[in-house]
């Protein structure tokens, strides 16, 4: 029997000691005993500094035969190649001798999927995080859960210490969709176990008629009526911020990252916790996430700690003394010792190794603290969470697009005119690259804002169009959470405007209260706020007209030719991107605003 089949079928596939469903307290103790880069904060929670600072899609492989590349969104690895690495991982795990086993569910009710996750001891913190994100067996199965055999549908095998010298990046995430097992090797980043489960969930629910949306969800009460809002967006676009911000008379978060939409317009939840980006976090701007991150039950990843153990969520450039304090951790997480010591001694200065945006050269990442710090917060530690067993109907689905730089000309908010148009923009998944995607700057497109869908992304756009056609009462929209007219340097020069959280809140409040008079954008065919309409005067008192219609800014600054060039170029780029995935012609035409 193939090894991958054996691992999928056996509940204890490795010859090791299993620590089954340890408590959170036990997992914290294991993390501190086993991981030198885990430290306890002043708030009593654990902060791990990791080698990997983001998910590594380029080192992800789906097990498939040669010639089947077009079926999948990731690279493929042949079954024979996969067997080789699964055997290497099995030998590695059995040599270590111990595995943490976490049993739980993604989802509740009829949509609950049972999951078994295995972690070597050097991933004890990841096991603790993943346990938080799962619904427990007791929550799903009831009080007699421990009298039943556990029958997992998905499995994760996670071994961060296994270095694969013969593969690019010396790591691999190997995905067996046939058996629903994901193997993570040489990554200590929590996002890989979370994504591993969600990737399999995307595949499983797609073939049952649903579509998993990379979306936060919240319950909003407007004029005494409760309904749900889904907010899609790539990392760094403000999805979590928007999800936990107050809108209407009452807001209650439902989910931080993923929901599943079904043909009848209903939706189901996936996770029991929140995976929040912490850079720039303040109690004033994001009080719920801020207080949740400081809760002792939270786990934290890659957040800067002051000497007294408190967090600095806005730390960027590090002084030589600060690098000296973190020297051991930096060396343990792969920084070059000579570079570290040269910086500490003053031989190399900050300005020698960072560009005008503060981005470090390769090999000098340690001089600037990563902006991809994260916290994993149990939903029970989140204030005012909705009752997941009694959710309001879904009324709005929106996408967040963080514009920055020479591509920053998307209106602050738009309403889609058709299901095809909405499907096209969700398929484009446009935003500016952030720290979660690496150091590169500029526009990126991730189909449907969904880096978790393992099949050809065209299928997502078409499924979404079908779901929206069948549920025309759901309103779809898009919001720019970045800049208009440039980037942060242009803002300082007066050439660009930043879309602030207060602007986003005001735009969504007006949308949810149905207080916006819309007009058709002549270039793109979607609806934008009519800045000439008297009905929109209250909104214009809170949001500059240049954010609502960026063309106004370009015209006022004598940059109209630049705007027209952007319109022409962005349409061409979007068409090329959509045609690369062979999406329906109806969707392409909706994006190009042609009949």
Task: Write out the two tokens for 285.
Answer: 């701007």
417-431 pLDDT tens trace: 999 999 999 999 888
Local confidence band at 291 (pLDDT 50, 70, 90 cut-offs) = very high
Local confidence band at 575 (pLDDT 50, 70, 90 cut-offs) = very high
Name 376's bridge partners.
275, 299
Q: CB within 8 A of 538, min separation 6: which ones? A: 510, 515
Residue 40: its H or E element: strand 38-40
160-182 pLDDT tens trace: 999 999 999 999 999 999 999 99
- Whole-angstrom Cα distance, residue 74 to residue 71? 9
Q: What is the mean predicted confidence (pLDDT) over 350-361? A: 92
Contact of 71 with 338, CB cutoff 8 Å: no
pLDDT at residue number 435: 40
Q: In this model, does residue 434 exceed pLDDT 90?
A: no
Local confidence band at 451 (pLDDT 50, 70, 90 cut-offs) = confident
Q: How many CB atoms lie within 10 A of CB 265?
A: 16
Q: How many CB atoms lie within 10 A of CB 504?
A: 23
Task: Write out the two tokens for 278.
Answer: 């912490």
Q: How far is CA 387 from CA 60, 220, 244, 272, 474, in A?
A: 36, 13, 15, 12, 22
- Whole-angstrom Cα distance, residue 261 to residue 195? 18
pLDDT at residue number 445: 84
Residue 519: its H or E element: strand 518-520
* Range(s) of the chain covered by CATH 3.90.228.20: 212-275+383-592
Percent of the chain whose predicted confidence (pLDDT) is above 70:
98
Q: CB within 8 A of 31, min separation 6: which ones? A: 38, 46, 48, 124, 125, 128
pLDDT at residue number 442: 60
pLDDT at residue number 433: 56
Across the chain, mean pLDDT equals 95
Counting DSSP H helices and E strands in the chain, the numbers are: 21, 30
Contact of 461 with 213, CB cutoff 8 Å: no
pLDDT at residue number 513: 95
pLDDT at residue number 431: 84
> CB burial class (10 A; 0-12, 13-18, 19+) of residue 264?
exposed
| Domain 3-208 CATH class label | alpha beta
Q: In this model, does residue 450 exceed pLDDT 90?
A: no
Q: What is the mean predicted confidence (pLDDT) over 22-46? A: 98
195-247 pLDDT tens trace: 999 999 999 999 999 999 999 999 999 999 999 999 998 877 888 888 988 89
Q: In this model, does residue 446 exceed pLDDT 60?
A: yes
86-132 pLDDT tens trace: 999 999 999 999 999 999 999 999 999 999 999 999 999 999 999 99
Task: Write out the two tokens for 179.
Answer: 């058996």
374-389 pLDDT tens trace: 999 999 999 899 999 9
Q: What is the mean predicted confidence (pLDDT) over 311-335? A: 97
Sheet containing strand 181-185, strands side by side: 17-20, 98-106, 113-119, 154-159, 181-185, 172-176, 60-63, 75-77
Q: How many CB atoms lie within 10 A of CB 426?
A: 27
* Range(s) of the chain covered by CATH 3.40.449.10: 3-208
Query: Which of 37-51, 92-106, 124-138, 355-369 shows the lowest mean pLDDT across its residues?
Result: 355-369
- Which of 3.50.50.60, 3.40.190.290, 3.40.50.300, 3.90.228.20 would CATH assign to domain 212-275+383-592? 3.90.228.20
């Amino acid at each position: 029997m193939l090894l991958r089949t054996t691992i999928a079928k056996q509940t204890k596939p490795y010859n090791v000691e299993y620590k089954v469903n340890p408590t959170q307290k036990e997992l914290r103790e294991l993390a501190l005993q086993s991981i030198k880069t885990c430290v306890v904060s002043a708030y009593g929670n654990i902060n791990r500094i990791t080698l990997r600072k983001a998910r590594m899609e380029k080192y992800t492989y789906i097990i498939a035969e040669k010639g089947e590349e077009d079926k999948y969104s990731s690279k493929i690895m042949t079954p024979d190649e996969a067997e080789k690495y699964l055997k290497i991982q099995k030998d590695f795990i059995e040599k270590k001798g111990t595995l943490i086993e976490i049993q739980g569910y993604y989802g509740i009710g009829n949509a609950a999927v049972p999951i078994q996750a295995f972690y070597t001891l050097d991933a004890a913190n990841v096991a603790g995080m993943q346990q938080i994100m799962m619904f427990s067996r007791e929550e799903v199965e009831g009080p007699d859960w421990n009298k039943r055999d556990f029958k997992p549908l998905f499995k994760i095998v996670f071994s961060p210490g296994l270095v694969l010298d013969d593969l690019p990046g010396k790591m691999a995430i190997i995905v067996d969709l046939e058996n629903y097992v994901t193997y993570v090797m040489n990554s200590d980043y929590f996002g890989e176990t979370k994504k591993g489960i969600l990737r399999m969930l995307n595949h499983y629910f797609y073939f049952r008629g649903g579509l998993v949306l990379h979306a936060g969800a919240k319950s909003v009460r407007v004029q005494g009526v409760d309904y749900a809002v889904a907010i899609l967006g790539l990392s760094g676009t403000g999805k979590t911020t928007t999800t936990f911000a107050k809108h209407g008379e009452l807001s209650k978060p439902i989910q931080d990252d993923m929901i599943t939409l079904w043909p009848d317009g209903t939706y189901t939840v996936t996770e029991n916790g929140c995976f929040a980006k912490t850079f720039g976090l303040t109690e004033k701007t994001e009080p719920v996430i801020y207080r949740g991150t400081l809760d002792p039950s939270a786990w934290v990843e890659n957040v800067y700690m002051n000497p007294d153990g408190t967090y600095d969520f806005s730390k960027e450039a590090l002084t030589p003394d600060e690098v000296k304090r973190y020297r051991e951790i930096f060396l343990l997480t792969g920084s070059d010792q000579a570079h570290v010591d040269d910086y500490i001694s003053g031989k190399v200065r900050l300005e020698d190794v960072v560009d005008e945006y503060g981005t470090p050269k390769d090999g000098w990442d340690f001089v600037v603290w990563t902006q991809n710090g994260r916290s994993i917060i149990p939903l029970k530690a989140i204030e005012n969470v909705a009752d997941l067993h009694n959710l309001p109907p879904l009324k709005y689905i929106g996408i967040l697009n963080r514009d920055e730089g020479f591509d920053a000309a998307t209106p602050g908010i738009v309403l889609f005119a058709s299901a095809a148009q909405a499907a096209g923009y969700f398929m484009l998944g446009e935003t500016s690259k952030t720290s979660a995607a690496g150091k590169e700057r500029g526009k990126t497109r991730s189909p449907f804002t969904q880096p978790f869908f393992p099949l050809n992304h065209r299928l997502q756009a078409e499924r979404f169009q079908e779901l929206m056609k069948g549920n025309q009462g759901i309103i779809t929209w898009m919001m720019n959470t970045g800049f208009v007219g440039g980037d942060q340097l242009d803002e300082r020069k007066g050439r660009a405007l930043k879309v602030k959280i207060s602007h986003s809140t005001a735009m969504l409040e007006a949308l949810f209260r149905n207080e916006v008079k819309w007009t058709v954008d002549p270039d793109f065919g979607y609806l934008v706020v009519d800045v000439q309409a008297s009905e929109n005067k209250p909104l214009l008192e809170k949001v500059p007209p240049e954010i609502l219609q960026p063309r106004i800014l370009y015209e006022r600054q004598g940059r109209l030719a630049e705007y027209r060039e952007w319109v022409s170029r962005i349409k061409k780029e979007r068409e090329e991107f959509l045609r690369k995935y062979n999406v329906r012609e109806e969707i392409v035409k909706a994006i190009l605003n042609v009949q």
